[in-house]
Amino acid sequence: MQTIKVELEGRIESLNTKLNFLIFLMIIALTLMNPVMADIIKSFLK
């Protein structure tokens, strides 16, 4: 039972990393396609 739990935690961590990477790529794509989006992101970072 413990080995299954460890394996599932590893898979969840892997999926979390992939999801964060995809979100990052989506933000970059939106910024490249829409200059107004770049201004919005700049306003959030200030």
Tell whether pTM > 0.75.
Answer: no
Q: What is the mean pLDDT of residues 1-24?
A: 92
37 and 30 Cβ atoms separated by less than 8 Å: yes
34 and 40 Cβ atoms separated by less than 8 Å: no
Give pLDDT, residue 21. 96
Give pLDDT, residue 1. 86
Give pLDDT, residue 15. 94
Distance between CA atoms of residues 7 and 2, nearest Å: 9
- Report the chain's mean pLDDT, rounded to a whole number: 89
CA 21 to chain centroid, in Å, comes to 4
Tell which residue, 21, 29, 27, has the closest CA to residue 42.
Answer: 27
31 and 41 Cβ atoms separated by less than 8 Å: yes
Q: For residues 11 and 39, which has the higher predicted lDDT (pLDDT)?
A: 11
Model confidence at 17, pLDDT cuts 50, 70, 90, reads: very high
